[in-house]
A = this chain, B = another copy of it.
Amino acid sequence: MTGGLARGEPAVDAVVVGAGLAGLTAARELEAAGASVLVIEANDRVGGRMMTQYVGGVPVEMGGQWVGPGQKRINALARELGVEIFPTEVPGRTVFHEDGRRSEYEEDGEVPFRDPGASAEVGEAFHALSELARGVSAGTPWASERALEWDGQTLETWKLGHTQSKGARFYFDLAVESLYACEPRDVSLLGVLSDVAASGGFGGLFEIEASAEEHRLVGGAQELAVRMARGLRGRVVLSTPVRRISHDGDGALVESDAGSVRAGAVVVAVPATLRGRIEYVPALPPVHDGLSQRMPMGAVIKCHAVYDAPFWRDMGLNGRAESDTGPCKVTCDNSFPGEDAGVLTGFILGSDARRWGQSPAGERKRAVLECFARFFGREALHPRGYAECDWGKEPYARGGYAGVPVPGFLLDHGPALREPVGRVHWAGTETAARWNGYMDGAVESGHRAAREVLPAGGAGYHPRTTPDDRDLSRGRPRAGATGTGG
């Protein structure tokens, strides 16, 4: 297991495991305070669950991409790095598809359910969730007075008690799938209430305007990670899975396929479910190990078709579709400004993702494009480029968008999410008190982890020799991206 580097050197103040938004944020803050850092990333790229790729000649967002106005940390980071934001909103009508019937509705209009009462039902259910969430304190949901009651049930159970019509239930499911990439049965009611409290209202999560999806990032979200990594040049090692972290009162030893590094502290910035795939010496305490057994990733295949132009706009459509028939039950116009090309993005979510992920790629592509054609017309059948990312197949994400709290998880394991174990600290959007599951939460978690590691006062490290990334460059090549051109 120990590789080419001699024991005892190189040594840094802190090793950060994972070059996603959380890890890079932590590394940057640690370095700014004078600490020597080394970031070790398993993938052959930085960005974690943010990944921007070129398809049909234009950038497309394979992973996290949206930014909301209430998300102060990600907005501040983008400004600092000189990455501009632009509004997501595309004017036009949304396509609605229910029971094989296609309709359209205006931005401010009512969803045209077959059952005329469904719309009010949905509104009431979302409102009721927001009201309940007032009883939950963001960041410490396990301390809520009714935590036991709320963490004892699935969101599905709550839904069945608070909606009646088929239409309302389909739309509720669609909202949950869109937000969590899982079914309402997979997530704890307390988990959802906690997220509402951490973000400001369930409806707000699902709408575009004044929501978590109001803005996007020029050049793509991964640009944030690329720019941070550039500032850390020489201290970010790629293609190097960390295998073991040993630690005691004197410090830590981080072992990877490419060698070992000593460190004063380690920040593990990976999804909670993947923490357990690193070996710890001594072994993690049962609650810390148990939490990595209980926060499974959602399931999502994000599918993109690139066209010569956003033809749906000429039809007065905004590229958004909501449907009870998949594979893509939700779509959006994901074009970048300044490009002629139009990009339609469809989400295959939860159980659908598991099923469709097992189909041959060609069959899945055909079904996705037929879906787009049902929503936006036959022109959708002939994109100039097509690509998709099944996040369950990404070896160092193993699902997306984020970890999902199952019933009972937060009560018994929530407090351990952020709790350090000796020299090991934890980051990642799942550990955030605000906007967990979003890019903003990842940034929060990186700041918090860095502050834990820093001596009281936030600075005081005397920089010492940092190992060069060439010291740890013998990582294995990783399998190619899942996107396919054409």
A465 within 8 A of B: no
Tell me which residues across on chain B come within 8 A of A357, comparing CB atoms.
285-287
A399 touches B354 (CB 8 A): no
Stretch among A99-107, A148-156, A319-327, A371-379 lining the B interface: A148-156
Among A1, A293, A357, A395, the most chain B Cβ lie within 10 Å of the Cβ of A293
Tell me which residues across on chain B come within 8 A of A185, comparing CB atoms.
151-153, 407-408, 411
Supposing A157-B157, A408-B186 touch, asked if A358 and B287 sit within 8 A by C-beta, the answer is: yes
A156 touches B407 (CB 8 A): yes
A177 CB, nearest partner CB in chain B, Å: 12
Q: How large is the interface on A (under 10, 10 to 19, 20 to 34, 35 or more residues)?
A: 35 or more
The docked-state distance in angstroms from the alpha carbon of A479 to that of B280 is 12
Within 8 A of B (CB), among A365-403: 390, 392-393, 395, 398-399
A282 within 8 A of B: yes
Tell me which residues across on chain B come within 8 A of A151, comparing CB atoms.
185
Within 8 A of B (CB), among A51-91: none
A398 touches B289 (CB 8 A): yes
A277 within 8 A of B: yes
Q: Encode A402-413 as 1/0 by CB contact (under 8 A) with B.
A: 000011100111
The docked-state distance in angstroms from the alpha carbon of A154 to that of B285 is 26
Supposing A156-B152, A276-B276, A407-B156 touch, asked if A293 and B297 sit within 8 A by C-beta, the answer is: yes
A265 CB, nearest partner CB in chain B, Å: 22
Within 8 A of B (CB), among A178-208: 182-186
A354 touches B293 (CB 8 A): no
Tell me which residues across on chain B come within 8 A of A294, comparing CB atoms.
296, 406
A153 touches B156 (CB 8 A): yes
Supposing A153-B156, A399-B286, A412-B351 touch, asked if A407 and B186 sit within 8 A by C-beta, the answer is: yes
The docked-state distance in angstroms from the alpha carbon of A341 to that of B152 is 42
Question: Contacting A285 at CB < 8 Å: which of B186, B296, B358, B407?
Answer: B358
Within 8 A of B (CB), among A225-268: 241, 243, 257
Supposing A186-B407, A408-B186 touch, asked if A290 and B1 sit within 8 A by C-beta, the answer is: no
Tell me which residues across on chain B come within 8 A of A257, comparing CB atoms.
1
A19 within 8 A of B: no
The docked-state distance in angstroms from the alpha carbon of A152 to that of B296 is 16
Question: Contacting A392 at CB < 8 Å: which of B153, B182, B290, B297?
Answer: B290
The docked-state distance in angstroms from the alpha carbon of A104 to that of B139 is 45
Question: Which residue of B is nearest A350, CB measured?
Answer: B412
A283 within 8 A of B: yes
A354 touches B152 (CB 8 A): no
A472 within 8 A of B: no
A299 within 8 A of B: yes
Within 8 A of B (CB), among A269-286: 273, 276-277, 279, 282-283, 285-286
The docked-state distance in angstroms from the alpha carbon of A152 to that of B169 is 14
Tell me which residues across on chain B come within 8 A of A411, comparing CB atoms.
185, 351
The docked-state distance in angstroms from the alpha carbon of A407 to that of B151 is 12
Tell me which residues across on chain B come within 8 A of A358, comparing CB atoms.
285, 287
Closest 7 CB pairs of A and B: A286-B392, A293-B296, A152-B185, A152-B156, A186-B408, A185-B408, A406-B406
What are 5 sample pairs from A and B whose C-beta atoms fall under 8 A apart? A152-B154, A286-B299, A286-B353, A290-B299, A294-B406
A interface, CB within 8 angstroms of B: 1, 151-154, 156-157, 160, 182-186, 241, 243, 257, 273, 276-277, 279, 282-283, 285-287, 289-290, 293-297, 299, 351, 353-354, 357-358, 390, 392-393, 395, 398-399, 406-408, 411-413, 479
Could you list 19 further interchain pairs (A-B, Cβ under 8 angstroms) beyond the known A152-B157, A276-B277, A277-B277?
Answer: A152-B160, A153-B157, A153-B185, A154-B154, A154-B408, A156-B407, A183-B408, A241-B279, A277-B279, A285-B357, A286-B354, A286-B357, A286-B392, A286-B393, A286-B399, A293-B297, A351-B412, A354-B413, A407-B407
